[in-house]
Structure 1
Amino acid sequence: MILLNPVVISVLVLCILCLLKLDVLLTLLVAAVVGGLAAGMSMSDTMGYLISGMGGSSETALSYILLGIFAAAMEHTGVAAIFAKKIGSMVKGNKTVLVWVLAGVACLSQNLIPVHIAFIPILIPPMLMLMNKLHLDRRAVACALQFGLKAPYITIPAGFGMIYHTIVANNITKNGLAVSNMEIWKVTWLIGTAMLIGLCVAVFWAYSKPREYNMDEDAVRKYEMEQNRETKLNRDHIVTLVGAVSTLGIQLYFGSLPLGALFGLAIMILFGAIKWKDIEKLVMTGMHIMAYIAFIMLVAEGFGNVLSKSGAIDQLVQFAVNVSGGSKLIASTAMVLTGLVIVTGLGTSFGTVPVLSVLYVPICMGMGYSVPATILLIAASAAIGDAGSPVSDTALGPTAGLSVDGQHDHIWDTCVPGFIYFNIPIALTAIIGSVMI
């Protein structure tokens, strides 16, 4: 019975405990243990696979911590407040415009300036008071940020998009169906369009009504003083911006985000934007911003290793093949839903592509799917659970920025909206599209 599959059991435990508001980190540990035991592993083997698997995300975790410190440094120099004020004046009190501007900034973080979620703890916290004054439902902002963090890399072959498209093309080719990188976007634009429709529904309908948030009087006074104060770029601001540009340049040249962040911090320290006596405070602040997310990513990688070692993923995909009975519609539905379960548990689109390709490509070839249909199924199945997964950085990033005052819930205000307005449109697009093209 499919419900007894260890992957299904562990992901159900993960989702249920998260919905019951158990801490995500503890939820991951419990789900990993349950999944391992359900697969017949011993407790010691389960913990061994969990711990050994954590090393796979060590570079990502280090990147997030260093970027958190960099974000704290940018806030310390006042650059973040200037950006927030500029955006506030640009939207002219229109909350819908603000949501779309933030979605645009998030899109740029994937392709033009590939810093991923690092901009969120820099830009979003200074804007929370503006959102409160506009009575803007933060769930709309969470959807906008998730859209910007996800749709561009699925759709556009640049920045993180080039990485994702290369992974998809290489893995499909490796498993017997020759595909080039530039064939991917010609299909995945369908997924991006589905996400855009979902975002429009979320912004213009689901979360368009005013929502009240508590506003601390001291915070309101501080915000109004900042708005009334004339702000000009000074030497520290310019050094900070140079550090940011250098971070991007070093990252692109050496292919190392941690090295880029470290180099940017070094410039800010050497040229005096950050005083020596403030370094320890900024490090602790940066750790507070991003270390929790970094450690969740480490444990999520270990959780994925447990599921991989269990052999249950192969069983899940084989079940999807068996229930299709030769029907492409049923097969597509089963493959997309299988991807949803796996990615919701693992929290990574990039890391799921190799897992699914080795199984899905032979299935698609055997059932007579076209090349575009195969690309659509694999790209969508690997990306579908990312927005709604409690352990995905696509969800953790927006929550990190929107919850600094304790008024935004990770599960109900970020994950559930992302699941409804992105995963459902992606699923429908992949299922119907793979049958028709």
Structure 2
Amino acid sequence: MNAVLLAVGLVLLLSLFRVNVVFSLIIGALAGGLVSGLDIKTIGETFSGGLGGNASVALSYASLGAFAAALTKTGLPDAMVNGAVKLVGKEGESSRKTLSKVMILLIILLISISSQNVIPVHIAFIPVLIPPLLKIFNQLKIDRRLVASVITFGLITPYMYVQAGFGAIFHETVRSNMEKAGLSITLADIPAAMMIPSLGMVTGLILAFFIYRKNRQYEDKEVAGAETVSYSKQTLIFAAAAIAGSLGVQLWMAYLQIEGGMIFGALAGIAILYVTRAMKWTEADSVMTQGMQMMAFIGFVMLAASGFASVMQETGHIDTLVKSSVELIGTNQSLAALLMLLTGLLVTMGIGSSFSTIPIIAALFVPLCVSLGFSPLATIAIIGTAGALGDAGSPVSDSTLGPTSGLNADGQHDHIWDTVVPTFLLYNIPLILFGWIAAVTL
């Protein structure tokens, strides 16, 4: 049996049965490694050696969590909640509920999209924006599965299509790895190839608004560690300055192509809050520790996912999976496109990173696409879509972990059943369909 299929399937099955995702990844890596013929020592060394692959990402999330917690002490979240209350009305009058729901969801959608390109902070906005709004969601009886779907759309679709921010990184990753595999393309080709697959994400978002349009009841619970903070125009200005400073550092480091932008950006924001005394010195340590804890789970999952990916590559069964698919394909382009997309889905679901999936599959898919006569645009569509597949719906992807971290702040949003399963069904199925259409028509 193919070790990758077994390992990924086991991770997903255990996650569905509410086994902790980190333990699911460890068990999956162990099972996959043993089936492939690796001994325990090799599996352990490979898994441990691979943990460092996402170490900087884990530290970035911990730093951003600390910065987000520090911002709460400026009163910024309370100001946002007060603004939302003015929008909704103190009692959430029924005559305004529909409009209020749509406006809040559209604002969250725009912020999510902007977090990938206009202001590339990725998921850093979630712990600042979402927990303070939970009571407003409850008042409007908004289904949090819809909010999770909206955020996940905003975290994924922009990098697929828009060549800015994280999209510029994703597109360059696609271009460079395809070139290494023997097919030269230009960056300008990628948006043209990814337009049809991106429409699959749009289709999923529309379905989300339809499927989760009904009211859902939640209890009004206090967010862990949350408290009402008094604020003034001055503290809000300092908060805005901290955010601007953080973003400025990230953008500057990204422009210079220096790694660690999120870490140093968070540090710059925290420093501004220190200097301006927007956050009290006496409570700074406890506040930032609390913020790190809030994002620590994501960091641990990303570390475990990196170790899992290393074991899967060590087994050599990713190559075997592709070769087995080739034997089934023959000269059938339609079947080839479908099988390559499904392979990308499996790989990304397991390792949780579309960016990390591209180097793995490009080396295998480019020669196959060329031999089958796919055009360069069709090849881009297959590889780009195969990489993005699984980012939505993977229990170890930051595109699902991020929304859960905010929506479950009061303990009423399950990661697997309220984020992972809905986003998997809403986005991966349309992505496969639209990616396949792009492959056979371009």
CA shift in 2, pair 1:88/1:332, >3 Å:
farther
Considering only aligned residues, what root-mean-square deviation do their CA atoms show, in Å? 1.7
The equivalent of 1:127 in structure 2 is: 133
Please list the CA deviations of residues 382-403 of structure 1 after superposition, one character each: whole Å capped at 9, or x if unmatched. Answer: 0100010000000000000001
Return the alpha-carbon distance in structure 2 between the equivalents of residues 392 and 66 of structure 1: 18
The equivalent of 1:247 in structure 2 is: 246
Return the alpha-carbon distance in structure 2 between the equivalents of residues 306 and 85 of structure 1: 49
Q: Is the 8 A contact 2:298 2:401 kept in 1?
A: yes
Segments of 5+ residues of structure 2 without an aligned counterpart are 89-95, 255-260
The question of 1:353 aligning with 2:358 is answered yes
How far has the Cα of 1:300 moved from its partner? 0.5
The question of 1:344 aligning with 2:349 is answered yes
Q: Is the 8 A contact 1:157 1:185 kept in 2?
A: yes
Partner SS state of residue 124, structure 1:
helix
How far has the Cα of 1:86 moved from its partner? 2.8
Return the alpha-carbon distance in structure 1 between the equivalents of residues 57 and 120 of structure 2: 14
Return the alpha-carbon distance in structure 1 between the equivalents of residues 340 and 85 of structure 2: 44
1:54-133 counterparts in 2 under 5 A?
54-90=51-87, 93=97, 94-133=100-139
The letter for the 1-side match of 2:352 is G
The question of 1:279 aligning with 2:278 is answered no
Pick the aligned partner of 2:15 from 18, 29, 54. Answer: 18
Partner SS state of residue 80, structure 1:
helix
Q: Indicate the larger mover: 76-85 or 24-33.
A: 76-85
Return the alpha-carbon distance in structure 2 between the equivalents of residues 232 and 288 of structure 1: 25
Q: Is the 8 A contact 2:73 2:278 kept in 1?
A: no
Q: Is the 8 A contact 1:135 1:211 kept in 2?
A: yes
The equivalent of 2:381 in structure 1 is: 376
Over the matched positions of the two proteins, sequence identity in percent amounts to 40
Q: Indicate the larger mover: 248-257 or 21-30.
A: 248-257
Pick the aligned partner of 1:140 from 143, 146, 152. Answer: 146
The question of 1:195 aligning with 2:201 is answered yes
1:397-416 counterparts in 2 under 5 A?
397-416=402-421
CA shift in 2, pair 1:268/1:18, >3 Å:
same
The question of 1:169 aligning with 2:175 is answered yes
Partner SS state of residue 350, structure 1:
helix
CA shift in 2, pair 1:87/1:175, >3 Å:
farther
Which consecutive segments of 4 or more residues in structure 1 shift more than 3 A? Answer: 87-93
The question of 1:319 aligning with 2:319 is answered no
The equivalent of 1:37 in structure 2 is: 34
Please list the CA deviations of residues 121-170 of structure 1 after superposition, one character each: whole Å capped at 9, or x if unmatched. Answer: 11100101011111111000000000000001111000001111111111
CA shift in 2, pair 1:238/1:49, >3 Å:
same
The letter for the 2-side match of 1:244 is I
The equivalent of 1:153 in structure 2 is: 159
Return the alpha-carbon distance in structure 2 between the equivalents of residues 79 and 292 of structure 1: 24
Q: Is the 8 A contact 2:193 2:438 kept in 1?
A: no
Return the alpha-carbon distance in structure 2 between the equivalents of residues 36 and 342 of structure 1: 15
The letter for the 1-side match of 2:34 is L
Return the alpha-carbon distance in structure 1 between the equivalents of residues 188 and 80 of structure 2: 35
How far has the Cα of 1:269 moved from its partner? 0.6
Q: Indicate the larger mover: 377-386 or 240-249.
A: 240-249
CA shift in 2, pair 1:88/1:338, >3 Å:
farther
Pick the aligned partner of 1:309 from 290, 294, 314. Answer: 314
Return the alpha-carbon distance in structure 2 between the equivalents of residues 81 and 174 of structure 1: 50
Q: Is the 8 A contact 1:84 1:123 kept in 2?
A: no
> What TM-score do the two structures reach when normalised by structure 1?
0.94
Partner SS state of residue 292, structure 2:
helix
Return the alpha-carbon distance in structure 1 between the equivalents of residues 399 and 236 of structure 2: 29
Return the alpha-carbon distance in structure 2 between the equivalents of residues 381 and 85 of structure 1: 42
How far has the Cα of 1:85 moved from its partner? 3.3
Q: Is the 8 A contact 1:380 1:426 kept in 2?
A: yes
How far has the Cα of 1:257 moved from its partner? 1.5
Return the alpha-carbon distance in structure 2 between the equivalents of residues 143 and 49 of structure 1: 35
How far has the Cα of 1:193 moved from its partner? 1.5
Pick the aligned partner of 2:43 from 17, 38, 46. Answer: 46
The equivalent of 2:269 in structure 1 is: 264
Q: Is the 8 A contact 1:329 1:432 kept in 2?
A: no
CA shift in 2, pair 1:87/1:380, >3 Å:
farther
How far has the Cα of 1:69 moved from its partner? 0.2
Return the alpha-carbon distance in structure 1 between the equivalents of residues 231 and 369 of structure 2: 58
Return the alpha-carbon distance in structure 2 between the equivalents of residues 103 and 85 of structure 1: 20
Please list the CA deviations of residues 341-398 of structure 1 after superposition, one character each: whole Å capped at 9, or x if unmatched. Answer: 1100010000110111101011111110011100000000001000100000000000
How far has the Cα of 1:233 moved from its partner? 4.6
The letter for the 1-side match of 2:76 is V
The question of 1:391 aligning with 2:388 is answered no
Return the alpha-carbon distance in structure 1 between the equivalents of residues 407 and 314 of structure 2: 36
Q: Is the 8 A contact 1:135 1:210 kept in 2?
A: yes
Segments of 5+ residues of structure 1 without an aligned counterpart are none
Q: Is the 8 A contact 1:344 1:386 kept in 2?
A: yes
The question of 1:291 aligning with 2:290 is answered no
How far has the Cα of 1:407 moved from its partner? 0.8
Return the alpha-carbon distance in structure 1 between the equivalents of residues 192 and 87 of structure 2: 34
CA shift in 2, pair 1:306/1:88, >3 Å:
farther
Q: Is the 8 A contact 1:157 1:165 kept in 2?
A: yes
Aligned residues: 425
